Structures are given as structure tokens and as C-alpha cells.
Structure 1
Amino acid sequence: MTGPAARFGLGSARDTSASGDGEPWPRIVGAARSLADALPDLLVEAKQVAMTTNAGWHGRRRAGSGENFWQFRPFLAGEPVKRIDWRRSARDDHLYVREREWEAAHTVWLWADLSPSMAFRSDLAPTLKRDRALVLLLALADLLAETGERVGLPGLRRPVSDRHAAERIAAALAHVRDPVSLPDPHEIRRFSDVVLIGDLLDPLEETLAWMRTVAATGARAHIVMLLDPVEETFPFTGRTEFRDPETGFRLTSGKAQEWKAAYAERLDAHRTALSDMARTAGWTFLVHHTDRPASEPMLVLHSRLSGLLMADGRGDGA
């Protein structure tokens, strides 16, 4: 069996880890577009679509540079006289300043694990883990670009506001020769958001170390643990060979069913450690299985991002 989980004692049962390249890039981009087109209806149903304003700019309800009127406030001594709104001031004996909402594009770093372990699909799922991760990443890039946010790939593409972000990101990923599970955190700065999508089955301490590094920057992260259903249920019996797609290491069990309880316990402990770390850092964490619709994690991710960006109106240091 080949599967990612072999990296810490997990894996899938037979060689179904995609002999080819999976879905071609144009089809993946198309799937992401289709998902993005369906999301507005999902967001309306979840009462989240109102968080996004017209033309992609977020009214932060803070004073600052922008085009939208927020409120009048009394003129303060020492301020430039040119800031006085004389029409409003003429109504009574006080001077007033017209304040505008602070408008700023936010930086969101996106990352999908495209390492060999992600090129896996069991008979219980309709898609490779890699392809589902790509659809989620590209659909999210498309939605964020529509709302004017800066979207980037750590170490691969600097964050820019671009209506064609999904296509640009797909092109950048198409040229990655040595994909890694976790992105380089050095470009991540305070006040930005990071979305990480992958099976997260690498050695636990490696992933926790990455999370600590990102948390120390002050950035906020949203973690999606993406698993094939066979990695959750471990339905194997009899003689089964497990192979690590990252290293080629093979392990054979004469009675695979006897490993199920220990496997489930270890997976649960692994997932709990990641979830606890995310909660400690104030991040979000969710688990998605590839036999479920891609719209489910997309709805959660987009609503959380939209709600948080609109709620705090934070600037960006990236």
C-alpha cells in the first residue's frame, strides 16, 4: 500500500497513489472557478456574504484614507484647516471634520501541500488529495482576489491584488519542481493571514515547529487537514504492504487489522496536538475528507476569513 500516513505509521492499502499527474492544470483551474461561482449562494445561506462589500474594498470602520464617508467629528485644535467640512460646520456653532473609512487590502498567504504523499486516492474518494487541495487553494485565491485582497504563495509568488490570481497562482505552481509540505515562513509578517492545506502527516514536531515560527510573527493562520477517508477508517485486513511515497520505505503486516486500534489512537493524538497548537495561537483548524464536497471547507474558510478581516480591519506589514 502506498500512502502518506506511512510517515508516522499511517498509510493506505494498495498502490492507488496516482500513477500519472492527476487532473490537468486547466481542468483544476476550471474546477476552482466553478466552486468559486457556487460560493456566493452558499455564503448567502450562511449569512456571511454581507461581510464583503462592493468592488472588493472592505470598510474597516476606522478613520483613515479612503473614499467612503464614515462620520463627522469635532475639529481638533492643531489639525489642518483644510480638513474642516464647512457645509456641515455651517449648521451650528461648531467646526466638524468629515472622516472616511480606512480601506486597505489585506495579505493572505496560501499554501497547498503538493508533495508526493498528496498524490493519493483510495477507492473511497473521487479525487486525489493533491487535486482537492489545489481546487481549494485556487478557489480561495479567486474569491479573495475578487474582494481586493493581496494573495501570495510564500517563496513562490509575492502577494499582489490581481483579478486573475487563480490563473497566476496555477501557473506558478505548475513550475514547482520540488514541492514541499510546508512553506518557507520568512516572508510571512504580522497582520497577514496564512491558509495551509495538506494532510499534515509529516513528523509532528516538524509541523509544530513551523506553526510556532509563524505564530511568533503575529500572523494568523487557518489550517486544513485534508485526508482520504481510508486514512481515517483504516479498513485493511490480512497481509498488507504499506509504502511511504516520500522515502520509498516499505512495511508489511501479516494481519493489518491488528494495527487498527493503535493506528486510530496515534492519528487522533497527532491531530489533537495540531489542533491544540492552533487553538493556543488563536488560529482556526478543520479536518476535511476527500469523499466530501469541496464546498464544505471552502464555506468555512471563506466565511472565517471574511468575518475576521471585516471585524478587525487590521493593516498589513507584509
Structure 2
Amino acid sequence: MVQVRTFQPDEIAPGARHNAAAQGLAAAMPRLVVSARRIAASVVHGLHGRRRSGTGENFWQFRRFNSGEPGSRIDWRRSARGDNLFVREHEWEAAHTVWLWIDTSSSMAYRSSLAEDSKAERAVIIGLALADLLVRGGERVGILGLGAPTASRRAIEVLAQRLASAPAGSGLPMAHALAPLEEGVLIGDFLAPEDEIAETVRTLSNRGARGHLLSISDPVEETFPFSGRTEFLDPEGAQRITLGRPQDLRAGYAARLQAHREAVDAAAAASLWSSGRHRTDNPATGALLALHAQLGAPVEGARL
């Protein structure tokens, strides 16, 4: 099966391009931190903590009594007001751990003239802003493979420093099963082979952990606007393709891209993970809000 790839003209050797992508992202990190803080601050006042029932001292809500539950759980004072039985639930106070993974592979360095940020830069902005929102809500956040999770209010700076000092990554995380009460958030372009994406999600969710995929794309990757003689270069290899009339391939490209995306969505849904997409010419705020809403929400192959 043909693998979907992003191509761009470049004269740098593959290994050097890989290192250059990491160095470029590290150099841009101060700007990305500022952007992440600004975006998180713009939405934080309209969000509430990810409240859920569990062990704790604070009242959360009443809910209908379910047949088969112990009768000792019934709140008789509330139930006396009507014809239904109710249970008093408390808010779960244990901190939750969310593991981020941000794709920093060479294909993520792509940025067309239609976008303000490269795919990697936008992924970092959304990831760091999400981390800020989560730690404000009392959660712990870490980056897969880059140290222990943190609950520090300086999570943006802590995680940004780890990302800046890390070498460029591959197109998928090194997968290991997450704990049942942990969540994974993977942000990248997900242009790897479909079977590898599916296997990564299966491994991460093997113990029941929930998760979310956010695919980042440049508008050029969506529209394939090329016409006339054009040379394409695989950003993660040495393959070059020169096409005289790339516009003739536009319909086939769109169909293959759609099929690949449907396979990514199916890989997420098979493990009851959510999936969504974000274009770098759109505001990051919308993707951040949708992603935050999915965390802790019931997921049945939901789309972001």
C-alpha cells in the first residue's frame, strides 16, 4: 500500500535535515512558550476542572440509584423528595496523569506560506497549552519518554525545556502500556504506515488506558495546490519525485489521504480512543478546547 508522505523541496541530506528540524524547534521554543501561555490564558476562565466521582470528601452530585447497588449508598433525605431513589456522589480527589507525545520528526517541520507555524510548532503550542490547563485543574502531566510527570504550575516551562533538549523523534512514540487510570494524548501528523499506528495505539491502551489522537496538517497537504513541473522531496528520506503535471494527481491524492485518515480514525476507535484533526492555518484555540473536552469524557470512538 502506498504510504502517505509530505514532500517539500530541500537540498539538505536526510540526516542533516533530521538534526536541523530538532535544532529549529529548540530555537523557536521561547516563542512557542509565549504562544502556549497566551492561548491557555484565553480559554482557562471558561473551563472547569475535569470533575468525576470517586473517593473524596467534597459533594459532587446526586444520581439515580441503580438496581444491584448496595442499599447503604442511598441518600434517603434526597430520595424522600420524590418517587425515585438517589445516591450521593463525592468528587474524586486523586490526581490524574496525562501523558503527552508531540511528534518532532522531520515531516513535522513542514510549513507552507499559508500557515503561520510549522506542524511541529503548532503541535508544541497545543500540547503545552493543554498541559497548563491540566495542571491548573490539579492533574499531573508528562511527555512520554522525557521524564516523570509534573504537577507544577510551571509545567509549560518544565515540559518545553525537556522538548528543547531532546533529539528529533520518529513518527510514532515508543509504545508501552499506560496504567488503567492514565490517559495518552498523541499530537502529530500521523503519516506513518497505518498498521504501525494501529499497533502503537493498541499497545498504549492494552491495560485499559484511554487516549486521544490529534492529527496536525498544513493547508497545502489538504489541498495539494501544485501545478506545472514540481520536484518533491521526502523530508525523512532521500527520495525525489519530479512531476510535470502534479495537478493530474490531485483527485487521487485526496482519495488516498482520506483513506489514510479513515484508517487512523479506525485505529483510535478500536481502542475506544478519540481522534481529531487540526490545520495550521486555523486558530489553535479550537483544537485545544476540543481536546480538553475529550479528556475524562466518555469515549466511544468519538471524533474531536
- CA RMSD, 1 decimal: 2.7
> In structure 2, what is the equivalent of residue 11 of structure 1?
6
- Structure 2 CA distance for partners of 1:59 and 1:252, relative to 1, 3 Å: closer
TM-score (normalizing by structure 1): 0.76
Equivalents in 2 of 1:121, 1:59: separation in Å?
38
User: Contact (CA 8 Å) 2:178, 2:206: kept in 1 or not?
Assistant: no
Q: Does 1:289 align with 2:289?
A: no
Aligned to 2:181: 191
Could you say which residue in structure 1 is the equivalent of 2:79? none
Uncovered stretches (5+) of structure 1, i.e. residues with no partner: 1-6, 53-57, 72-97, 310-318
Letter in 2 for 1:60: R
Give the equivalent residue in structure 2 for 1:30: 34
Write the distance in 2 (CA, Å) between the matches of 1:205 and 1:101.
Answer: 39
Q: Which amino acid aligns with 2:52?
A: R
The correspondence for 2:158, drawn from 129, 145, 168, is 168
Kindly report which structure 2 residues correspond to 1:68-87, keeping only aligned pairs within 5 A, or say none: 68-69=58-59
SS at match of 2:148: strand
The one-letter code matched in structure 1 to 2:237 is: T
Structure 1 residues 94-136: Cα deviation after superposition (integer angstroms, max 9, x where no partner): xxxx996431111100011011111111111111111000000
Matched residues in 2 for 1:229 and 1:107: separation?
33
The Cα shift of 1:9 comes to 4.5
Query: Is the 1:195–1:222 contact (alpha carbons within 8 Å) kept by the matching residues of 2?
Result: yes
* C-alpha separation in 1, matches of 2:157 and 2:176: 25
Q: Superposed, which structure 2 residues align to 1:142-221 within 5 Å? A: 142-186=132-176, 188-221=178-211
Structure 2: runs of 5+ lacking an equivalent: 12-16, 62-87, 300-304
The verdict on how the C-alpha distance between 1:124 and 1:12 changes in structure 2, with shifts beyond 3 A counting, is: farther
Aligned amino acid, residue 247 of structure 1 = G
Aligned to 1:40: 44
Say if 1:170 and 1:259 are closer, same or farther in 2 by CA, change over 3 A.
same
Q: Distance in 2 between matches of 1:70 and 1:293?
A: 34
Q: CA deviation at 1:265?
A: 1.1
Contact 2:230 2:244 in 1 (8 A): yes
Partner of 1:313: none
CA shift digits 1:209-249 (9 cap, x unpaired): 11121232211111111000100111111211111111121
Per the alignment, in what secondary structure is the counterpart of residue 95 of structure 2? Answer: coil
Contact map agreement 1:154 1:187 (CA 8 A) in 2: no
Answer yes or no: is 1:130 the counterpart of 2:125. Answer: no
For the pair 1:268 / 2:261, whether they are aligned, the reply is no
Greater shift, 139-148 or 180-189, is seen at: 180-189
Given the superposition, is the C-alpha separation of residues 59 and 259 from structure 1 closer, same or farther in structure 2, using an over 3 Å criterion? closer
Q: Distance in 2 between matches of 1:305 and 1:9?
A: 29
The match for 1:104 is: 94
Identify the structure with bigger relative contact order (alpha carbons < 8 Å, sequence gap 6+).
1
| Rounded Cα–Cα distance in structure 1 between residues aligned with 2:44 and 2:51 | 19
Taking the aligned partners of 1:102 and 1:128, their CA distance within structure 2 comes to 39
Q: Do residues 251 (structure 1) and 246 (structure 2) align?
A: no
Native 8 Å contact 1:155 1:187 kept in 2:
no
**Kept in 2: contact 1:224–1:285 (CA 8 A):** yes
Residue number in structure 2 paired with 1:121: 111
1:307 offset after TM fit, Å?
4.1
Identity %: 45
Highest CA radius of gyration, 1 or 2?
Answer: 1
Give the TM-score normalised by structure 2: 0.79
Pairing partner for 2:270 from 277, 280, 286: 280
Q: What residue number does 1:61 align with? A: 53
SS in 2 for 1:133: helix
What letter is aligned with 1:21?
Answer: G
